Amino acid sequence: MDSLADAPPRLFDLGVGWKHSFAALGPAFFTDLVAAPLPSPYLVGVNPRLAADLRLPTDLLQSEDGVSALTGSLPIAGTRPLASVYSGHQFGVWAGQLGDGRALLLGEVESATGPQELQFKGTGRTPYSRMGDGRAVLRSSIREFLGSEAMHGLRIPTTRALSVTGSDAPVRREEIETAAVVVRVAPSFIRFGHFEHFASREQYGELRTLADYVIDRFYPECRATERFGGNAYAAFLEQVSERTAALLARWQAVGFCHGVMNTDNMSILGLTIDYGPFQFLDAFDPNHICNHSDESGRYAYNRQPNVAYWNLFCLGQALLPLIGDEQLTLAALESYKTIFPSELEACMRGKLGLPDAHEDDRVLVERVLQLLAKDRVDYTIFWRRLSHAVATGDPEPVRDQFLDREGFDAWWRDHSARLPAERGATALGMLRTNPKFVLRNHLGELAIRRAKVKDFGGVADLLKVVHAPFDEHPALEDLAGFPPDWASHIEISCSS
Ligand code: AMP
Ligand code: MG
């Protein structure tokens, strides 16, 4: 007998208990699979805060075996890697079956905020890879790692990232790049597309199993609803609509463009998910398109709220067989139209330092956005300077950003008249609302360039500031400056 074949495979023990509630849904929902190892993996970045939340020892993760485990090259004891199947609408067109083409769900561990699933991204081909190679490149993996942590630092619902590891294994994109793996973390990675998948195939039993799973686990209040005649599935759709509305308000307020709002990239929990060609706005341009592959501008910044509603409509169609009534389904989508504007107004009032609602607020917001757009003013720096101007009473550093000084002066007068007398406290609140640091494209790009020559200091610096984006970081002041001219020429596409 071959003694090697008899030896048990070496496993990495993270020292935490694993469960896998998704796996219990059954084989119609996924394919069991192991990660395809990458040669000589190295650590690019680890997230000590998230590791601590998950009660994972950071030093163990950073050990040689830990890095292999985070790359999928050394199996982790207690996990059950699987690729889930979903479908979706891409760029407004039904794309049929998609699925985890390069992701593997490992299972879930406990945390202070409830069970969290861990997922690899970039660990090789799956039955859902279609023409893809199952890999993710270092560049886009660093962007996902930092992008998701930046959103978390901004208190915007998002999937998280525990680590990014790399390998010198070549990966072909427009040019030859190298492979990397991100370990993502979320309560669930279920997307609108998971529901569309089973609805499109008229697999209503599986559709119900999936909906019941998500409702029982994440939306249990829907079971006791008195709305929609007690229809739990309609109540569920309404809850998802409301979470999505709140998410979109946060995106718009902070100036975040997702770039690929396909229905397979929409989280059923209202999280920001799948960081591809995303961007935080530099100059304010409502029509900004951050995805170089998006020729028609379907996912332009100012179209995002409507696209989210369109996507919810697709989810509604998928849930219709369970809800059982078209009018109820439409009614469950209605609240998006009121929640989104009211949440956005609340966000913008926070940015402006206005503690209570006033009927003229919408006009005040509209006017400042028009001024910002006209002069292509830097969005993040504007709000941060405005916060300081409220503290000092001196608008000059804000005014300097505008060509239309008269327009700004008139707006500043009206804004000042609306501010509460207690300016110090107001300004402090604004500084806790308007970040000093966002993950601008050029910052990511500079950190990526360094990482390509194995200098991961830029990634570490960015992680530090995006985790505390409202604080001053005197040693990293450069990361809060205006973007250089070349920043506007960076082209980020779907290629990742
Ligand atoms: P995305 O546009 O990144 O949301 O991806 C859409 C679909 O393509 C999903 O099913 C992904 O898993 C899959 N996909 C994207 N890139 C790759 C790749 N390099 N290899 C395999 N599947 C991929
Ligand atoms: Mg995706």
pLDDT in tens, 376-412: 999 999 999 999 999 999 999 999 999 999 999 999 9
Per-residue pLDDT at 464 exceeds 80 = yes
User: Within this chain, do residues 204 and 332 fall inside the same structural domain, yes or no?
Assistant: yes
Which of 33, 38, 121, 130 gets mutated to test ligand 1 (max ligand atoms within 8 A of its CB)? 130
Residue 1: the pLDDT is 46
User: Within this chain, do residues 305 and 372 fall inside the same structural domain, yes or no?
Assistant: no
479 within domain boundaries: no
Per-residue pLDDT at 364 exceeds 70 = yes
Mean pLDDT computed over every residue of the chain: 97
As a whole number of angstroms, the distance between CA 322 and CA 110 comes to 31
Return the residue whose CA atom lies nearest to atom 4 of ligand 1: 265
241 within domain boundaries: yes
Structural domain of 407: 354-431
Residue 9: the pLDDT is 80
Residue 320: the pLDDT is 98
Single out the residue of 199, 304, 277 nearest to residue 444, CA to CA: 277
The tally of domains found in the chain comes to: 3
Show which residues are catalytic. Answer: 264
User: Within this chain, do residues 50 and 139 fall inside the same structural domain, yes or no?
Assistant: yes
**What is the average per-residue pLDDT within 210-237?**
98
Tens of pLDDT, residue by residue over 1-45, are 455 567 778 999 999 999 999 999 999 999 999 999 999 999 999
> What's the CA-to-centroid distance between 97 and ligand 1, angstroms?
11
- DSSP conformational letter for 484: P
Residue 7: the pLDDT is 75
Per-residue pLDDT at 353 exceeds 90 = yes
**CA-to-CA separations, 494 to 90, 190, 210, 271, in angstroms, rounded:** 12, 21, 29, 20
Of 330, 346, 362, the domain-final residue: 346
Residue 2: the pLDDT is 52
Residue 127: the pLDDT is 98
Q: pTM to 2 decimals?
A: 0.97
Of 189, 204, 232, the domain-final residue: 189
Residue 3: the pLDDT is 58
Tens of pLDDT, residue by residue over 269-282, are 999 999 999 999 99
> What's the CA-to-centroid distance between 481 and ligand 2, angstroms?
31
232 within domain boundaries: yes
User: Within this chain, do residues 245 and 378 fall inside the same structural domain, yes or no?
Assistant: no
365 within domain boundaries: yes
Of 398, 431, 464, the domain-final residue: 431
User: Within this chain, do residues 215 and 286 fall inside the same structural domain, yes or no?
Assistant: yes
Tell how far CA 458 is from the center of its chain. Answer: 21
Which of 82, 129, 189 gets mutated to test ligand 1 (max ligand atoms within 8 A of its CB)? 129
464 within domain boundaries: no
| Shortest-distance ligand to the CA of residue 277 | 1
> What's the CA-to-centroid distance between 149 and ligand 1, angstroms?
21
Buried b (16+ CB within 10 A) or exposed e, 441-471: bbbbbbbbeebeeeebebbebbbbbbbebbe
Q: Output the six-digit token pair for 196.
A: 């569309």
Tens of pLDDT, residue by residue over 71-81, are 999 999 999 99
Residue 8: the pLDDT is 72
